[in-house]
């Protein structure tokens, strides 16, 4: 019988333990905001930098854990939903 190694289970492919953090938003948009922020910082006395910094923060606060293998939704194995998935897939809790 398979033993659990990891702390998450993927709802889509059933993989246990492989989660990666997916940051929300788009990288080049963030870069573009920084470039314009820096250019206009001289005119706006640095206030234009609030926009890219705010975007950076919002990207990271909206980051979600996804399956490393398929990018699917993951749940913690110690939650009722995670335990149910593990049971359904025939894994034994370590
Ligand atoms: Zn998956």
Name the band, by pLDDT with cuts 50, 70 and 90, for residue 1: very low
Q: Give the model confidence (pLDDT) of 2-35 as tens digits.
A: 566 788 999 999 888 888 988 888 899 999 999 9
Rounded-to-integer distance, Cα 61 and Cα 22, Å: 11
**Distance, CA 67 to ligand 1 centroid (Å)?**
5
- Give the per-residue pLDDT at 18: 81
- Give the per-residue pLDDT at 24: 87
Give me the residue spans of the domains in the chain. Answer: 1-21+65-94, 24-62
**Distance, CA 29 to ligand 1 centroid (Å)?**
28
User: pTM for the whole thing?
Assistant: 0.61
Burial 75-94 (b: 16+ CB within 10 A, else e): bebeeeebbebbeeeebeee
Task: Tell me the Ramachandran region of residue 45: left when phi exceeds 0, alpha when psi lies from -120 to 50, beta otherwise.
Answer: left
- Give the per-residue pLDDT at 4: 64
**Distance, CA 35 to ligand 1 centroid (Å)?**
36
Q: Give the model confidence (pLDDT) of 41-93 as tens digits.
A: 999 999 999 999 999 999 999 998 899 999 999 999 999 999 999 888 887 65
């Amino acid at each position: 019988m398979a033993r659990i190694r990891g702390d998450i289970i993927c709802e889509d492919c059933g993989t246990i333990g492989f989660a990666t953090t997916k940051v929300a938003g788009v990288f080049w948009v963030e870069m573009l905001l920084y470039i314009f922020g820096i250019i206009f910082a001289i005119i706006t006395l640095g206030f234009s930098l609030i926009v890219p910094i705010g975007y950076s923060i919002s990207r990271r606060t909206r980051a979600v854990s996804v399956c490393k293998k398929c990018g699917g939704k993951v749940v913690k194995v110690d939650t009722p939903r995670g335990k149910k998935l593990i049971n359904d897939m025939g894994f034994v809790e370590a």
